[in-house]
Amino acid sequence: MFRALRVHNFRLYVSANLVSQTGTWMQRIGQDWLVLQLSGGSGVALGVVTALQFAPTLLFSFYGGVLADRFDKRRLLMVTQALMGGVALVLAVLVATGGIQLWQVFALAAALGVVSSLDTPSRQAFVSEMVGREYLVNAVSLNSTVFNGARLVGPAVAGGLIAFAGGNTAPAFFVNAASFGATIVALSLMRDAELQHSTPVARARGQLRTTLAYTRAHPDLQLAMLLAFVVGTFGFNSQITIALMAREVFGLGAGAFGLLSTAYAVGSLSGALLSTRREARPLQRFLLLAAGGFGVLLVVSGLMPTYWSFAALLVPTGAAALVFSVACNSFVQLGVDPQMRGRVLALYFMCFMGGTPVGAPLIGWVSETFGAPWGLISGGVVVVVAAVVAGALLSRGRHVRLEAHVTPPSLQLHVDALPPLAAGLADEADGEVPGEQPVRR
């Protein structure tokens, strides 16, 4: 389960990441609660601040991927971590001095989103440089385990700290600003000789077109990005739906909101730990089942009538979310060439988080207009429908591939005329993954 921790650099990274991510989750809880305070409980305002934080993903992530493929990832991460710590510190000072306004929260969320969009491709690609292909799946799972371990601790600590401070969110922001220092120290202490640096990519025109053409030639990557877009846009909005359920449906405060977030994190941590057992690249059908299961659990969670039943359902919902997320991330990383990894991962995270600027305000509006439970229910329905449609493509690919074995050569054009995604799904139906060696069923 913990085999990637044999690598010295990865041990340093994981330890520091636990501290940093705990601070990040404290800031997320504090930011959401601050917006509710300043806006009078507006679900739309909560969706807007989330959208502003993730909108830069669409504009800057690919540039972050180019930087990751072109420059030393460790040095890039030192810069981005320092910048994110600075943004958190500015927010903390504004709240502590009593001068904070809603527009300032929006502006700082957007600034944090810009830096984060440059940080994410390097951070994700850097995992493979620390551990290599042998431990990559386990390392991605352990990274998610740390992320969700922090998600388990951070919201509860933030909720208790905010409640202890009489509703003041400044302490949570100060803790987060300080936590980035742990990652910077760990990065500076790494053994550079043990990193498996990828060959730097020279500056050139048309790198976006090259990345899109590469993805177009790999239908399996297209499927992963399509599912990531739908799930990320309509399913991964727990920071909005849980906050509104706590405040509007159950009439509770920051402490109860923090506990609900912790319940979701318990499930997420369980899902991440389960994923550490995986050693090989997931099958495409597993991605479909994981996405569909997560969508169903979202719908059921929205139907829960009491605080405690809702909290209980958040555990398996969080687990399903992380099983899908880890599988999708590993699927993409193990299906791409090292020289393309930064840019393809940037494109992947543009799909995963780039829909949030649309999905978050939409889910916030649905929750505010029809009731908070409908934010969960509507998002879950969209995810389930997407999984079913992709499953139908998989079935179509299987049917056509089987026909190809018994039809005359003149009809082989029917198979060749398939759209790239369906053709790629057909490959897996025969026990093959595009771009990989055949695997046993």
Written as one string, the DSSP assignment of 211-273 is HHHHHHT-HHHHHHHHHHHHIIIII--HHHHHHHIIIIIS---HHHHHHHHHHHHHHHHHHHH
Q: CA-to-CA distance for 170 and 167, rounded, in angstroms?
A: 9
Q: CA-to-CA distance for 198 and 138, rounded, in angstroms?
A: 20
Residues 236-260 have pLDDT tens digits of: 877 778 878 887 777 777 677 778 8
List C-alpha distances in Å: 199 to 44, 68, 196, 436.
45, 11, 10, 22
Least confident of 10-24, 163-177, 352-366, 397-411: 397-411
Provide the number of structural domains found in the chain.
1
Residue 440 lies in a domain: no
Asked if residues 248 and 389 have their Cβ atoms less than 8 Å apart, the reply is no
Q: Is the pLDDT of residue 200 over 80?
A: no
Mean pLDDT of the chain: 79
Mean pLDDT, to the nearest integer, of 66-92? Answer: 89
Q: What is the per-residue pLDDT for 254? A: 67
CA–chain centroid gap for 293, Å, is 17
Residue 437 lies in a domain: no
Q: How many CB atoms lie within 10 A of CB 381?
A: 17
Q: Is the pLDDT of residue 393 over 70?
A: yes
Residue 270 lies in a domain: yes
Q: What is the per-residue pLDDT for 87? A: 93
Residue 276 lies in a domain: yes
Indicate the pLDDT class of residue 427, thresholds 50, 70 and 90. very low
Q: How many CB atoms lie within 10 A of CB 257?
A: 26
Enter the tokens of residue 383: 């995810």
Q: How many CB atoms lie within 10 A of CB 237?
A: 25
Q: What percent of the chain has pLDDT over 70?
A: 85
Q: Is the pLDDT of residue 418 over 90?
A: no
Asked if residues 126 and 73 have their Cβ atoms less than 8 Å apart, the reply is yes
**Amino acid (one-letter) located at 135:** Y
Q: How many CB atoms lie within 10 A of CB 441?
A: 6
Q: What is the per-residue pLDDT for 198? A: 72
Least confident of 14-18, 137-141, 231-235, 321-325: 137-141
Q: What is the per-residue pLDDT for 175? A: 92
Mean pLDDT, to the nearest integer, of 91-97? Answer: 92
Mean pLDDT, to the nearest integer, of 419-438? Answer: 42
Nearest to 401 by CA among 387, 415, 388, 390: 415
Asked if residues 89 and 180 have their Cβ atoms less than 8 Å apart, the reply is no
Indicate the pLDDT class of residue 60, thresholds 50, 70 and 90. confident
Q: Can you give the pTM of this predicted structure?
A: 0.66
Enter the tokens of residue 192: 């550079």
Q: Is the pLDDT of residue 263 over 50?
A: yes
Task: State whether the Cα torsion 341-343-344-345 is positive or negative.
Answer: positive
Q: Which residue has the higher pLDDT, 50 or 171?
A: 171
Q: What is the per-residue pLDDT for 88? A: 92
**Structure-token match 């306004």, residue found:** 101
Residue 75 lies in a domain: yes
List C-alpha distances in Å: 255 to 142, 223, 424.
28, 39, 48
CATH code at 139?
Answer: 1.20.1250.20
List C-alpha distances in Å: 17 to 86, 226, 327.
17, 29, 20
Residue 164 lies in a domain: yes
Residues 296-315 have pLDDT tens digits of: 999 998 888 888 888 899 99
Go through the chain and tell me how many residues it has. Answer: 441
Q: Is 109 helix (H, G, I), strand (E, B) or coil?
A: helix
Q: Which residues of 384-423 are buried (b: 16+ CB within 10 A; e: fewer)?
A: bebbeebbebbebbbebbeebeeeeeeeeeebeebeebbb
Residues 6+ apart with CB under 8 A from 407: 414
Residue 434 lies in a domain: no
Q: CA-to-CA distance for 409 and 415, rounded, in angstroms?
A: 10
Indicate the pLDDT class of residue 86, thresholds 50, 70 and 90. very high
Mean pLDDT, to the nearest integer, of 61-69? Answer: 79
Q: Is the pLDDT of residue 353 over 90?
A: no
**Structure-token match 């809880």, residue found:** 29
Q: What DSSP designation does 195 have? A: S
Q: Is the pLDDT of residue 322 over 80?
A: yes
Residue 172 lies in a domain: yes
* Full domain range(s) for residue 219: 3-429
Indicate the pLDDT class of residue 194, thresholds 50, 70 and 90. confident
Backbone angles phi, psi at 178, to 5 degrees: -70, -30
